[in-house]
Amino acid sequence: MANPVEQFQIEPLVPLHIGGVNVSFTNSALLMVVSVTLVTAFLTLSVRGRALVPGRWQSMAEVFYEFVGNMIRDNVGSEGRKFFPFIFSLFMFVLFGNLLGLVPYSFTYTSHIIVNFGLALTVFIGVTIIGFMRHGTHYLRMFFPHGAPILTAPILIPIELISYLSRPFSLAVRLFANMTVGHIMLKVMGGFVVALGVLGVLPFAFLSAITVLEFGIALLQAYVFTILCCIYLNDAIHMH
Amino acid sequence: MSSGDEGPNLDDLGARLQAARAREAAETGQDRVRSGGGNNAGMGLGFRIAIELVVNIVVGTGIGYLLDWWLGTKPWLMVVFVFLGAAAGVMNIYRVAKGLDDSVGLGQASRRGKNDQTNGP
């Protein structure tokens, strides 16, 4: 049986070392380029007609646009409009990463924690900067709830601070765990199909169901990642 | 959705679309995407709770370790921050279980949660 975690191996396609730093073009990077190219092609080609009544491709692009647009409007409000390009790019990048990973023989870059962590950290740092820019030092008030007894401050403030700092980690780990678990499960089930011979029909049926579930998870996790970014952004802008 | 200058027909359609969307939103809340399947949502919730707990403890431990390294008080701050991290994790799980949003500040979040129950995370 093939090693189920072999699929997450990073392989340099074009070895490249600049100043002692390994900057090789890997299979992960290739999939990222493919995903960005696909997203760009999909969005630009589908709306080229600019029809008032959209065709098939244009309505697909509009579905994504409206989906993210509504998400921002519901969670951040009208002030979130100017962050639309960033949130939309984030959503499409994660979504296409998840979906392209389900294509056989491809690679899932969202199954690598450092990729997700890079995205999450960008959001986290950006949101923190936005919060401080809009509220100044008043932003720190967020870590201590109004009306709580002042004696609880030494415990409450570190707890809220840890909870705040754990955001990029939990964002990254959640996407990573969901993607990795799904792909390992698919691989292990695939191994059973071959190993069991005629009885392999059973794991094969299960495998088909799991594949459908995996598509659902790919969509759901892209949605969760983006909506949490929206919630964090809302926190920084409105502070409640 | 602001195109209304194509005659009464499109105006009417727009109004009906808005009404239908409002009705749908009132019926299903925000759970339109989440409720893709019972299995799916339950797995997501389970993952969330597990990750929340583990990540908060790890981050707390990391902060404690760095502070120790910086202040030279090995290992006391790390011990304290492990427990603080666990407390933060449990607090976040409480938030998830109560269906509150993910924003910072538990007291404010629970007050908001009482105001509008429909706005789950």
For B103, which residue in chain A has the nearest alpha carbon? Answer: A235
Is the pLDDT confidence value at A146 over 90?
Answer: no
Is the pLDDT confidence value at A39 over 60?
Answer: yes
CB contact under 8 A, B104 and A177: no
Residue A38 is predicted with a pLDDT of: 95
CB contact under 8 A, A234 and B103: yes
What would the DSSP string read from start to end of A125-186?
HHHHHHHHHHHGGGGGGGGS-TT--GGGHHHHHHHHHHHHHTHHHHHHHHHHHHHHHHHHHH
Chain A partners of B107 at a C-beta cutoff of 8 Å? 145-148
Which residues of A touch chain B, with CB atoms under 8 Å apart?
52, 74, 142-143, 145-148, 155, 158-160, 162-166, 169-170, 173-174, 177-178, 213, 216-217, 219-220, 223-224, 228, 231-232, 234-235, 240
Residue A46 belongs to a domain: yes
Q: pLDDT tens digits, residue range B51-97?
A: 888 999 999 999 999 999 999 888 889 999 999 999 999 988 888 88
Chain B partners of A50 at a C-beta cutoff of 8 Å? none
Is the pLDDT confidence value at A191 over 70?
Answer: yes
Structure confidence at residue B119 as a pLDDT band (50, 70, 90): very low
Query: What residues have CB less than 8 Å from A141, skipping those under 6 apart?
Result: A239
Q: Structure tokens of B1?
A: 């959705």
Share of chain B above pLDDT 90, in %: 26
Rounded to an integer, the average pLDDT of A135-158 is 82
Residue B106 is predicted with a pLDDT of: 59
Chain B partners of A213 at a C-beta cutoff of 8 Å? 37, 39-40
Please indicate whether residue A120 or residue B4 has the higher confidence score (pLDDT): A120
Lowest model confidence (mean pLDDT) among A49-58, A210-219, A222-231: A49-58
For the beta carbon of residue B84, count every other beta carbon within 10 angstroms: 25
The ranges assigned to domains in chain B are 1-30, 38-115
Distance CA A32, CA A25 (A): 11
Query: What residues have CB less than 8 Å from A15, skipping those under 6 apart?
Result: A24
Structure confidence at residue B35 as a pLDDT band (50, 70, 90): very low
Which domain, by its residues, includes A18? 6-238
Residue A1 is predicted with a pLDDT of: 55
Residue A180 belongs to a domain: yes
What would the DSSP string read from start to end of chain A?
---TTGGG---EEE--EETTEE--EEHHHHHHHHHHHHHHHHHHHHTTT--SS--HHHHHHHHHHHHHHHHHHHHT-GGGGGGHHHHHHHHHHHHHHHHHHTSTT---GGGSHHHHHHHHHHHHHHHHHHHHHHHGGGGGGGGS-TT--GGGHHHHHHHHHHHHHTHHHHHHHHHHHHHHHHHHHHHHHHHHHHHTGGGGHHHHHHHHHHHHHHHHHHHHHHHHHHHHHHHHHHHHHH--
Rounded to an integer, the average pLDDT of A100-114 is 91
Residue A72 belongs to a domain: yes
Residue B12 is predicted with a pLDDT of: 81
Is the pLDDT confidence value at A77 over 50?
Answer: yes
For B36, which residue in chain A has the nearest alpha carbon? Answer: A216
Domains identified in chain A, total number: 1
Please give, rounded to a whole number of angstroms, the shortest distance from the CA of B102 to a CA of chain A. 7
Residue A114 belongs to a domain: yes
Residue A29 belongs to a domain: yes
Q: Does B54 touch chain A (CB under 8 A)?
A: yes
Mean pLDDT: which of A10-14, A16-20, A68-72 is highest?
A68-72
Pairing of strands A17-18, A21-22: antiparallel
Rounded to an integer, the average pLDDT of A123-134 is 93
Please give, rounded to a whole number of angstroms, the shortest distance from the CA of A15 to a CA of chain B. 34
